[in-house]
């Protein structure tokens, strides 16, 4: 049990986290995040702005990547930093597959650190949200 | 870059580093559970305080991406986004030399300096840290990097810095 620094290797893949947002989840996110912009849950409004459909909040995809990394680290460490770029839109009822790879493990200022490359991709493999994270391990 | 052709006027450049009025955000259990539920988190530390304490937290911690909710007050909060109404944003203040119509959220990065848990009250101050311009496939682009510092009121510690990238074109 628990993730150990010594057992992590560069190139290792994080367990994949698969998401597929219903419109209900986007409404829940609006309530959870406080962002009630209508392009995310009101199709008529979204079409009126020139979009083809309602779209998944970028910040929700950011939170998905946070969950990907958190679920891997659990109580064995902490996320020191993480983030992503919003390169493409995702629509509800489509797969958003969250993936990560360990790119570097190192010690710095007495901390055991791991750099991760992470991203979300569509079912066809198109990456819409490339990101990265640094986590510290306790052991 | 300070030529007649640059999108970035002297007035626009002068906004770099100007700090906003502080915003107070509360971190509480109800809202953390709503946030975690909406993401689809399954780790019980985001729902059950006893589990959070077992994992070494003071109380239920913020899930990644959650930095408290700005205290809502209809006198000055934005009804759609919840933050301070007219409190800056890309369309406030000095504008680029040529008008740009569209705005994209380019990305979000968060750096954490401590656990943030239910019960914490955060005060955040934002500022523009950099403005760049680029000619891309979508024409003239103005790329604004802004930083928001989150300070815990109880001990004055900066617990997180969020960096956001805004693209106007």
Question: What ipTM was predicted for this assembly?
Answer: 0.96
So where are chain B's domains? Answer: 10-24+95-168
Q: What is the pLDDT of residue B165?
A: 94
Average pLDDT over residues A19-42: 96
**pLDDT-derived band at A64, boundaries 50, 70, 90:** very high
**Domain at B10-24+95-168, CATH homologous superfamily:** Hotdog Thioesterase (3.10.129.10)
Cβ-defined contact of A34 to B82 (cutoff 8 Å): yes
- A70 contacts in chain B (CB < 8 Å): 41, 43, 63-64
Report whether B59 contacts B126 (CB < 8 A): no
Q: Nearest CA of chain B to the CA of A124: how many Å?
A: 23
3-state helix, strand, coil in chain B (%, to 5): 15, 35, 50
Of A16-20, A30-34, A55-59, B2-6, the poorest mean pLDDT is in B2-6
- A58 contacts in chain B (CB < 8 Å): 105, 108
Look up residue B33 and give its two tokens.
């559970």
Q: Please give the helix or strand (H or E) that residue A78 lies within, else none.
A: strand A77-85
Q: Is the dihedral of CA B159, B32, A41, B84 positive or negative?
A: negative
- A10-22+57-137 belongs to CATH 3.40.50.720: no
Q: What is the pLDDT of residue B99?
A: 85
Q: Which of B167, B75, B73, B158 is nearest to B112 (CA)?
A: B158
pLDDT over 50 (residue A40): yes
CB nearest B34 (choices: A32, A66, A84): A32
CA separation for the pair A83, B104 (Å, rounded): 16
What is the C-alpha R_g of chain A? 17
Average pLDDT over residues A64-93: 97
Q: Which residues in B45-152 belong to E strands, given as ranges?
A: 69-70, 103-112, 121-136, 139-152
Chain A contact present for B64, CB below 8 A: yes
The strand pair at B121-136 and B23-26 is best described as antiparallel
CA separation for the pair B5, B135 (Å, rounded): 12
Helix or strand or coil: residue A30? Answer: helix
Mean pLDDT estimate for chain A: 96
CA separation for the pair B43, B25 (Å, rounded): 24
Chain B contact present for A100, CB below 8 A: no
pLDDT over 80 (residue B3): no
CB nearest B81 (choices: A35, A80, A84): A35
Look up residue A85 and give its two tokens.
């770029």
**Tens-place pLDDT, residues B78-129:** 888 888 876 556 666 788 998 888 888 899 999 999 999 999 999 999 999 9
Helix or strand or coil: residue A18? Answer: strand
Look up residue B99 and give its two tokens.
């008008």
So where are chain A's domains? Answer: 10-22+57-137
């Amino acid at each position: 049990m628990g993730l150990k620094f010594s057992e992590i290797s560069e190139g290792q893949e994080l367990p994949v986290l698969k998401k597929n947002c219903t419109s209900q989840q986007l409404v829940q996110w609006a309530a959870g995040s406080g962002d009630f912009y209508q392009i995310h849950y009101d199709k008529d409004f979204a079409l009126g702005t020139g979009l083809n459909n309602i779209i998944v909040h970028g910040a929700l995809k950011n939170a998905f990547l946070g969950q990907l990394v958190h679920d891997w680290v659990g109580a064995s460490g902490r996320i020191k930093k993480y983030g992503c770029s919003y390169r493409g839109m995702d629509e509800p009822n489509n797969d958003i597959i969250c993936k990560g790879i360990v790119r570097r493990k190192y010690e710095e200022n007495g901390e055991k650190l791991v750099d991760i490359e992470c991203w979300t991709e569509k079912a066809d493999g198109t990456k819409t949200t490339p990101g990265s994270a640094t986590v510290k391990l306790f052991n | 870059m300070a030529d007649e052709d640059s999108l970035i006027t002297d007035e626009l450049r002068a906004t770099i580093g100007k700090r906003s009025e502080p915003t107070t955000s509360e971190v509480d259990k109800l809202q953390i559970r709503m946030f975690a539920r909406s993401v689809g988190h399954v780790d019980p530390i985001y729902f059950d305080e006893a589990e959070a304490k077992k994992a070494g937290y003071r109380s239920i911690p913020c899930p990644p991406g959650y930095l408290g909710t700005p205290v809502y007050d209809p006198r000055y909060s934005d009804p759609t986004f919840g933050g301070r109404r007219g409190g800056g944003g890309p369309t406030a203040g000095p504008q680029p030399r040529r008008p740009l119509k569209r705005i994209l959220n380019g990305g979000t990065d968060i750096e954490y300096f401590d656990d943030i848990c239910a019960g914490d009250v955060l005060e955040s101050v934002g500022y523009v840290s950099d403005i760049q311009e680029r000619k891309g496939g979508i024409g003239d682009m103005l790329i604004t990097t802004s930083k928001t510092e989150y300070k815990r009121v109880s001990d004055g510690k900066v617990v997180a810095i969020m960096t956001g990238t805004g693209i106007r074109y």
